[in-house]
Chains A and B, each alone.
Chain A
Amino acid sequence: MGGPSGGNIMVDARDISGKQKQIAVSEFFEKNKHFLGFDSLQRSLITAVKESVDNSLDACEEARILPNIVVEINRLKGEDIELITQDNGPGIPRDAIENVFGKFLLGSRFHAIRQTRGQQGIGITGVVMYAQLTTGAKTRVISKIATDSSAVFVELGLDTRKNKAIKSKERREVWIDEGTGEEIRHGLKISTIMKAKYQRGKQSVYQYLRMTSIVNPHATISLIVRGKDGEVLEEGKWIRTSEKLPRVVEEIKPHPHGIQLGTLQRMLRESEQRKMTSFLRHNFSGVSVRAAKEVLAVSEIEDERVPKRINSEDAKKLIASFQKVKLLPPPTDCLSPIDDLLIKKGLSKAIDSRFASTVTRLPAVSQGNPFQIEVGLVFGGDISADGPIEVLRFANRVPLMYQQGGCALTKAIESIDWKRYGLDHPGGKGLPKGAAAVLIHLASTNVQFTSEAKEAVADNEEVFDEIRKGLLEVGRGLKNHLKKKDQRKKAKEKFELVNVILPEIAKKTSKILGRNEPDLAPVITQIMNAVFCEEELSWDKERKLATCSIKIFNYTARARAYTILLKWPENENVSMVENSNGGRKEARGIWAWRLDTLNPGTSTTISVALSGLSKGDWTDTDVFFRGNGDIIGATKIDEKILEEIRKSEALSAIRNEISESEIQEINDVETKDLEFDNEEEIRTDGINIFADFEEGSE
C-alpha cells in the first residue's frame, strides 16, 4: 500500500507488465532510479543492504523468529563490490523464489493496510536488477525452510522484458554453516556483485545498520567490510537487548477520512455487496451501521443502490459526507510501536550515555490513517558535546538517512525551545547543540513523504503536534535529570561537610586546645537547615529484583511529618514484591507512605523491591512529598494532577473494556462516549504530568 506514493509506483510497474507494453522493466528502473535509491554508487549499496535487511526483519517478524542478520561487504576490482547478506529467517519456499526476486513490487503488500517496513522500498528485485545492469552478475540465493530436508541453491537473473526471474544452476543440498560446521535449519543467504562504493560517515551502511539496531532491539546484526586484499575496513556488531519480538500487526480496512476518490471508485467497482450500508460497513473501518446510514442520508444516496453502479458524482458526495458524519476512529492495533522501554534499550546498545528518556505516545489518527509517535532522548556519556545533536529519524522502524533538513520530524525538533530543557540552542533556531541524540519514530499505515525518494516525512499538523508533545515529555525528563543531578551534587557536598569535615574540625580544635569535643548536633542542624531525601535505585542480581531505597534526613530544628510518594513503573508484569513501610497506592504508578514524625537530627529509610523488570530498566525515578516544609531531593506533589491521573486511569479502564469487544458491532453505545480525542489524551504513567506541573509553576 504505502499510501499515495507507493500506490503510484505500483500502478506504473503493473502497467508495464500487465499491458504488455514493449517498455522493458530495466528502462523503468533506469528512469526512476533516483527515487528507487540507486542514483549514486554510495547510495546504491546502502539501498541494497536496506532492501535485504528489511526483508529479513519482516520475514523473521512474521515467522516469530529472533533475527540474526549478517552483512558482508567485500571490495573487488574496480568499483565492483560483493554484497552478502544472511539471516536465520524462515527462508523462501523453492517455488516462491522467482516471484520474490524476480517481480517488481510483488502484489500482496499493496492491498492490506498495515504497518510494514517494506512499504518504503521497491524490494529485493531492485538489487538483482541493479547488479545485473551494472556488472552483469547473477544473484546467488541459498534458501532453506525448516520443513525441507535440504536447502535450495540457485542463481537468479532477470528477464527485463517479461519482468520475470530466470533461474539457473539450481540444486538442492544440505546447507552447512561455514563457521560452526553445523547444518542450517532455516534461513536465507543472498550474494551478488554490483558497482558501488563503500563510504563511512553519517550516510553509510554502518550508520544504517546502527540505526536499524536501535529500533529493532530484538535483532542481532553484524557488519564486516573488507578491502581489496581482504583486510577488514570496518566492523560492527549490535547484539539484541530484548527477546521480545514486535507484536504481529493486524491488517485493517481503510478509514473513510483518508480515502481518495479514485480509490473509492475502485472499491465500489470491485465490491460484491448489494447494498450501500453493507458496502460501507464491510470495506471501511470505523463505520457502524448507524454511521453508514447517516453517511447515506447526508449524501442522499439510497441504501438499496448497488455499489457497483454508483457514479462518480455520487462517489464525490460520499467523500464529502464522510467528513460530516461522526465516525469511530480507525483501530490502532495495525501499528507496531517499538515500546519506550525497548527504545531505551536500543539506544543504550548503540550509544553510551548517562541519561535516556523515551516516550511512546498513544496512537492518534490523521486523515483516517492511524499513526503513533515514539520519541527518545539520550544525553551525556560518550556523546560528543560539540556541534548539533544527532537526529535519528525512523518511519515504521526504517532509518531515514537523507534529507534531514527537509523532514517534518527534524522540523518538530527545531520547533522546541531547547534552552528551557537544558540544551544549548543558539538563537532558538535550527537543531540544538550538546551531548545529546534525539530519536523519533513515526509508525503509521501511511507514512507521507515529501517525495518518491521517501527520505523525508511530509508536513502534517497532527503528526507534528504529536512529535512535539513527545519531545516536550523527554525534554522535561532531561531538565529534571539535570536539575536532580545538580541537587544531588549539592546534597552530597552537604553530607560530606557535616558527616566528615565537621567532625574532623571538632577533633582537631579539641586536640589543639586540649578541650572536650563539642556536641555537633545543633551545629549540623544549623548548617543543613533542611530535610533531605536521597533515593538509590539498584539491581539485586541474586533475586532479579529492582530495588529502591529512599532515605529521609531531618536536619532541621523542628519535628517533621510527611507523606512520601514514589513513582514506579507499574504495569501488568511489574509488581512490588517487597515494601518496608506498607503504605498505599495513590494512583497507577504512584505509591505513598505516611511517615511517622521525624524528629530533628533523625532519619528514616523506605525500601521497596520490584519484580518483573530486568537490569537497567529502572534507573531513574521521582520522589514526591506531601506536607509542610520543603524536602531537598523531592518534589511537592500537585493534588490536582494526581486527580487527573486517577481520572485518566478510569478512562483508560473503560477504553480497554471496549477495545476488547468488537467496536463495529456496538451500536447501542453512544458513539460520543467511545470517541477519544487525541488532543486531550492523558498518559497514565504519571511521569510527564508531574513535570508539567513543575513547568507551569515557573
Chain B
Amino acid sequence: MSGVGQRKTKDEVKEALKGIAAEMHNKMERGVPPSMTLPVRAKTNIGFDNKLGVYKYGKKKSTRDATSLGSARQLLRSLHVTEFIEQMIDSGKSSTLREMYYISEAWGHGKFGSQNESNNLAEDLEIVTKCLREDFKLRPEEDGARIIGNVTFEERNRKGDWMRINCRDDVGDSGYGVPYNVESEKLTLVEEDVDFIMAIETGGMFDRLVENGFDEEARCALIHLKGQPARSTRRIMKRMSQEWNKPIIVFADCDPWSFRIYASIAYGAIKTAHISEYLATKGAQYLGITADDILAYDLPSDDLTKQDLSALDSELTDPRFNTGYWKDQINLMKEIGKKAEQQSLAKYGLDFVTDTYLPEKLKEIGLGY
C-alpha cells in the first residue's frame, strides 16, 4: 500500500485495540479516572504536511476522561466496540456501521444514542489505533461512486474469484459501482486508455456527460462523486492518480459546499485528517464552476443564503483554502453574492457543456483535446 503505513495483521489490530483498554485500566489502577487521548478534530488543528503533500492533524490533543457522564459513556462504548470488533475478526464477519448501531442496543449503558455517534467512534478508534476502518471489519453505509470510461479493474467477487471489468464495455449506463473496500486484497487496477480522470459532483451532470459520450470524446474516465465523496471514492481516485499517474479534475457546483468537496479530495477532510495521505489526491485540480464562470458565461444564479455566507467566511480561515486562487474565488463570490449549479450551463443548450464549456476550461489547464 503505497503512501499508507503497512496494513496490519488480525493480531496487530487486536493488539492495537487492546491498547485502548489498557490505557483505561492502567489509569484506574493508579487511582485516576480512565481516559482516551485523541487529536482535536477541528480546522484549528490541521496543518500541511510537506512530506505527504496533504493536511494532517496537528499536535493539539484532547483527553476524553470519565469525569463527565457523557465522556464516561463514550469510553464504555469504545470498550464495547473493541470487543465487538474482536469478535468479528475472530469469526471472519464484517458489519455496517448502521448494523453496529443496532447491535449496540444490547450494550446497556454502552449503547449509542444515534447513528452519528457510532460513526464518530469508529473514526476515533482508527485514530487511536492507527488502524483503518477496513481493518475493523466495519463498512460504511454510504454509496460508493460510479465510474464510466476506458479503464479496467479486477475485483474479487464473493466467491473469491477475480473478475475483470472494463468500465466502458462491461457496464451499463450507470457505470461501474465502486465497492466499499478498494484495497489491493479486493481490487486491482489493470489497465487504462485515458488522459485524465474527471470527478463530477451531481448525478444530473454525470448522466449528461455520459449521454453526450464525453468520456470517449475527451479520452477520460468520469466519476460520479454523489455529493461529499465516500472514503472508498476518494481512495480509488487516489490509487488511479498514483498507480496510473493521471491528473484528477474536479467539476462541481459553484457554492461553498462544493469547495469543501474539492478540498477533501485534494488536501484531505478535517474529519479524516488522520488518514489524509491515504485518501487525498495531491494535485487534484478544480475545473469549475468558478465564480469567474458565473460572470464569464453569464450563468443563471441564486443568491447566497446566510448559511452560504457563513460557510464562505469559515473557509477563509480554513488553512486548506489559504491560497491566492481560493481567496480570490471566495471573495469574488461574496462580492457578487451569487452561486450557480453545474446544470445552469444548460441555459445554452444540452450540448453546450460538452461542446463549449469543458473544452474551453480544459484547454486553460493544458488538457485540450
> Given A505-B76, A513-B18, do A493 and B29 touch, yes or no (CB 8 Å)?
no
A508 interfacial by beta-carbon distance below 8 Å:
yes
A510 interfacial by beta-carbon distance below 8 Å:
yes
Binary contact track A490-534/B, C-beta < 8 Å → 1, others 0: 000110110011101110111111010011101100110000000
Nearest-neighbor residue (CB-CB) of B108 within chain A = A504
- B68→A497 contact, CB < 8 A: yes
- B109→A523 contact, CB < 8 A: no
CB-defined contacts of B86 to chain A, threshold 8 Å:
512
B110 interfacial by beta-carbon distance below 8 Å:
yes
- A501→B83 contact, CB < 8 A: no
B28 interfacial by beta-carbon distance below 8 Å:
yes
B73 interfacial by beta-carbon distance below 8 Å:
yes
> Given A506-B28, A526-B33, do A513 and B22 touch, yes or no (CB 8 Å)?
yes
CA distance A508 to B107 in the complex (A): 11
Nearest-neighbor residue (CB-CB) of B69 within chain A = A493
Query: Interface centre among A500, A504, A505, A508, by most B CB within 10 Å?
Result: A505
B80 interfacial by beta-carbon distance below 8 Å:
yes
CA distance A500 to B72 in the complex (A): 10
Query: Nearest chain A CB to B63's CB is how many angstroms away?
Result: 14
Nearest-neighbor residue (CB-CB) of B110 within chain A = A504
CB-defined contacts of A518 to chain B, threshold 8 Å:
25, 28-29
- A501→B33 contact, CB < 8 A: no
B79 interfacial by beta-carbon distance below 8 Å:
yes
Kindly identify, within residues 458 to 481 of chain A, every residue whose CB is under 8 Å from any CB belonging to chain B.
Answer: none
Query: Interface centre among A493, A501, A509, by most B CB within 10 Å?
Result: A509
CA distance A508 to B66 in the complex (A): 14
CA distance A356 to B22 in the complex (A): 51
B37 interfacial by beta-carbon distance below 8 Å:
no
Nearest-neighbor residue (CB-CB) of B83 within chain A = A512
B304 interfacial by beta-carbon distance below 8 Å:
no
Kindly identify, within residues 49 to 75 of chain B, every residue whose CB is under 8 Å from any CB belonging to chain A.
Answer: 66-69, 72-73, 75
- Total interface residues on B, CB under 8 Å, equals 27
Kindly identify, within residues 276 to 322 of chain B, every residue whose CB is under 8 Å from any CB belonging to chain A.
Answer: none
B349 interfacial by beta-carbon distance below 8 Å:
no
- B69→A509 contact, CB < 8 A: no
CB-defined contacts of B24 to chain A, threshold 8 Å:
505, 509
CB-defined contacts of B34 to chain A, threshold 8 Å:
502, 505-506, 509, 523
Q: Is the interface of A mostly helix, strand, loop or mixed?
A: helix
CB-defined contacts of B67 to chain A, threshold 8 Å:
527
Nearest-neighbor residue (CB-CB) of B14 within chain A = A512
CA distance A519 to B29 in the complex (A): 7
CB-defined contacts of A500 to chain B, threshold 8 Å:
109
Query: Nearest chain B CB to A267's CB is how many angstroms away?
Result: 73
> Given A508-B79, A509-B28, A522-B31, do A494 and B21 touch, yes or no (CB 8 Å)?
no
Query: Nearest chain A CB to B81's CB is how many angstroms away?
Result: 11
Kindly identify, within residues 520 to 564 of chain A, every residue whose CB is under 8 Å from any CB belonging to chain B.
Answer: 520, 522-523, 526-527
B367 interfacial by beta-carbon distance below 8 Å:
no
- A523→B69 contact, CB < 8 A: no
- A508→B80 contact, CB < 8 A: yes
Query: Nearest chain B CB to A520's CB is how many angstroms away?
Result: 7
Binary contact track A557-596/B, C-beta < 8 Å → 1, others 0: 0000000000000000000000000000000000000000
Kindly identify, within residues 371 to 408 of chain A, every residue whose CB is under 8 Å from any CB belonging to chain B.
Answer: none
CB-defined contacts of A513 to chain B, threshold 8 Å:
18, 21-22, 25
CA distance A511 to B108 in the complex (A): 17
CA distance A438 to B25 in the complex (A): 54
Query: Nearest chain B CB to A486's CB is how many angstroms away?
Result: 15
- B21→A523 contact, CB < 8 A: no
CB-defined contacts of A494 to chain B, threshold 8 Å:
69
Kindly identify, within residues 61 to 114 of chain B, every residue whose CB is under 8 Å from any CB belonging to chain A.
Answer: 66-69, 72-73, 75-76, 79-80, 82-83, 86, 108-110
CB-defined contacts of A505 to chain B, threshold 8 Å:
24, 28, 34, 66, 72, 75-76, 79
Nearest-neighbor residue (CB-CB) of A506 within chain B = B28
CA distance A232 to B32 in the complex (A): 68
CA distance A502 to B67 in the complex (A): 10
CB-defined contacts of B28 to chain A, threshold 8 Å:
505-506, 509, 518, 520, 523
Nearest-neighbor residue (CB-CB) of B27 within chain A = A523
Binary contact track B216-258/A, C-beta < 8 Å → 1, others 0: 0000000000000000000000000000000000000000000
CA distance A497 to B82 in the complex (A): 21
CB-defined contacts of A497 to chain B, threshold 8 Å:
66, 68-69, 72
Binary contact track B1-41/A, C-beta < 8 Å → 1, others 0: 00000000000000000100110110011011110000000
Query: Nearest chain B CB to A503's CB is how many angstroms away?
Result: 10
Query: Nearest chain B CB to A553's CB is how many angstroms away?
Result: 17
CA distance A112 to B292 in the complex (A): 91
Kindly identify, within residues 85 to 112 of chain A, every residue whose CB is under 8 Å from any CB belonging to chain B.
Answer: none
Query: Interface centre among A496, A506, A508, A522, by most B CB within 10 Å?
Result: A508
CA distance A527 to B28 in the complex (A): 11
- B32→A523 contact, CB < 8 A: yes
- A508→B76 contact, CB < 8 A: yes
Query: Nearest chain A CB to B89's CB is how many angstroms away?
Result: 13
CB-defined contacts of A526 to chain B, threshold 8 Å:
31-33
CA distance A496 to B68 in the complex (A): 10
- A523→B82 contact, CB < 8 A: no
CB-defined contacts of B76 to chain A, threshold 8 Å:
501, 504-505, 508
- B110→A527 contact, CB < 8 A: no
CA distance A522 to B28 in the complex (A): 9
CB-defined contacts of B18 to chain A, threshold 8 Å:
512-513
> Given A512-B79, A512-B83, A515-B25, do A502 and B72 touch, yes or no (CB 8 Å)?
yes
CA distance A501 to B24 in the complex (A): 13
- A523→B33 contact, CB < 8 A: yes
- A512→B31 contact, CB < 8 A: no
CB-defined contacts of B68 to chain A, threshold 8 Å:
493, 497
CA distance A501 to B67 in the complex (A): 11
CB-defined contacts of A519 to chain B, threshold 8 Å:
31
Nearest-neighbor residue (CB-CB) of B75 within chain A = A505
CB-defined contacts of A504 to chain B, threshold 8 Å:
76, 108-110
CB-defined contacts of B82 to chain A, threshold 8 Å:
512
CA distance A520 to B32 in the complex (A): 9
Query: Nearest chain A CB to B113's CB is how many angstroms away?
Result: 14
- A527→B21 contact, CB < 8 A: no
Query: Nearest chain A CB to B70's CB is how many angstroms away?
Result: 9
CA distance A497 to B24 in the complex (A): 15
CA distance A506 to B32 in the complex (A): 12
CA distance A389 to B110 in the complex (A): 42
CB-defined contacts of B72 to chain A, threshold 8 Å:
497, 501-502, 505
Binary contact track A623-636/B, C-beta < 8 Å → 1, others 0: 00000000000000
Query: Nearest chain B CB to A253's CB is how many angstroms away?
Result: 66
CA distance A634 to B66 in the complex (A): 25
CB-defined contacts of B22 to chain A, threshold 8 Å:
509, 513
- A509→B21 contact, CB < 8 A: yes
Query: Nearest chain B CB to A492's CB is how many angstroms away?
Result: 9
Binary contact track A63-82/B, C-beta < 8 Å → 1, others 0: 00000000000000000000
- B66→A501 contact, CB < 8 A: yes
CA distance A523 to B32 in the complex (A): 5
CA distance A523 to B65 in the complex (A): 11
- Name the one of A501, A510, A527 contacting B109, with C-beta atoms under 8 angstroms: A501
CA distance A512 to B16 in the complex (A): 12
A–B Cβ pairs within 8 angstroms, 16 of them: A493-B68, A493-B69, A497-B66, A501-B76, A504-B109, A504-B110, A505-B76, A506-B25, A506-B28, A508-B76, A509-B79, A512-B82, A513-B21, A519-B31, A523-B31, A526-B33
Which 10 A/B pairs are nearest by Cβ-Cβ distance?
A522-B31, A509-B25, A508-B79, A518-B28, A493-B69, A512-B21, A501-B72, A509-B21, A518-B29, A497-B69
B residues engaging A (CB < 8 A)?
Answer: 18, 21-22, 24-25, 28-29, 31-34, 66-69, 72-73, 75-76, 79-80, 82-83, 86, 108-110
Known: A505-B76, A508-B80, A526-B32. 14 other contacts (CB 8 A): A500-B109, A502-B66, A504-B108, A506-B25, A506-B28, A506-B34, A509-B21, A509-B25, A510-B25, A512-B18, A512-B82, A513-B18, A513-B22, A515-B25
